[in-house]
Structure 1
Amino acid sequence: MQTYVIRRPSFCADMAELEACGRTSAEVGEQMSSRVRWIRSYVVEEPDGRLGTVCIYQARDGESIREHARRVGMPGEEFYPVASTVIVRPDPVEAVPA
């Protein structure tokens, strides 16, 4: 499988909507596990006040990414194959409240 970066701009109004979409995405991903795997997502605040994401996926091909997005009901047309990975530092880990 190839690694891809997927940009999903301004597609959720708030965290509750984003979390619901994430649950559906994980369920659909399980159904398509031989074609697509969700690795991680970074949630970004968009200039219009909505939330968007930058996602890391592994997929067999671009059509697998598009089909997964269609099934979930989210954008899936802006994606790029990853040519290489440079890790300067590991992703930060958020503190869990005590």
Structure 2
Amino acid sequence: MNTYMIRRRSAWKTASELEMAADRSKRVGNEEMPDRVRWIRSYVVEEEDGQLGTVCIYQAVDTGALREHAERAGLQADEITPIAQTVVVRKDPAEGG
């Protein structure tokens, strides 16, 4: 599998909308496409328009699988970018830290 970054811009108005989308995404990935798509992590960002967006890290067999996953889960996928390499300077900070 290859690693990709998916940008979903201004996709949700509220945190509860985002949570429902995350539940759908997990279900589709884990139950319907486990051998083709793996959700690794997401960073929730506050967009300039006040809505919520995400920067998501996925592993997948190809971009077609990611687009299929997004469609099945009812998610947008504004940008899908292959990740060439990961450089970790520090671990992600703990919540509230």
Q: Map Cα deviations across residues 8-65 of structure 1 (whole Å, 9 max, x no partner).
A: 0000111000000000000000110100000000000000110000000000000000
Compute the displacement of 1:78 (Å): 0.8
Residue 81 of structure 1: aligned partner: 82
Q: Are the counterparts in 1 of residues 9 and 78 from structure 2 also a CA contact under 8 Å?
A: no
Residue 6 of structure 2: aligned partner: 6
Instruction: For structure 1, list consecutive stretches of 5 or more residues without a partner in the other structure.
Output: none
Alignment of 1:23-34 (within 5 A): 23-30=23-30, 31-34=32-35
SS in structure 1 at match of 2:20: helix
SS in structure 2 at match of 1:90: coil
| Structure 1 stretches of at least 4 aligned residues deviating more than 3 Å after TM superposition | none
Distance 1:77 1:51, change over 3 A: closer
Q: Structure 2-normalised TM-score?
A: 0.95
SS in structure 2 at match of 1:55: strand
Residue 65 of structure 1: aligned partner: 66
Q: Are the counterparts in 1 of residues 3 and 83 from structure 2 also a CA contact under 8 Å?
A: yes
SS in structure 1 at match of 2:55: strand
Instruction: For structure 2, list consecutive stretches of 5 or more residues without a partner in the other structure.
Output: none
Q: Which amino acid aligns with 2:41?
A: R
- For 1:16 and 1:70, locate their aligned partners in 2 and report how far apart those are by CA, in whole Å: 20
- For 2:45 and 2:78, locate their aligned partners in 1 and report how far apart those are by CA, in whole Å: 18
Q: Are the counterparts in 1 of residues 4 and 58 from structure 2 also a CA contact under 8 Å?
A: yes
Percent identical pairs in the alignment equals 57
Residue 43 of structure 1: aligned partner: 44
Q: Which amino acid aligns with 1:24?
A: R
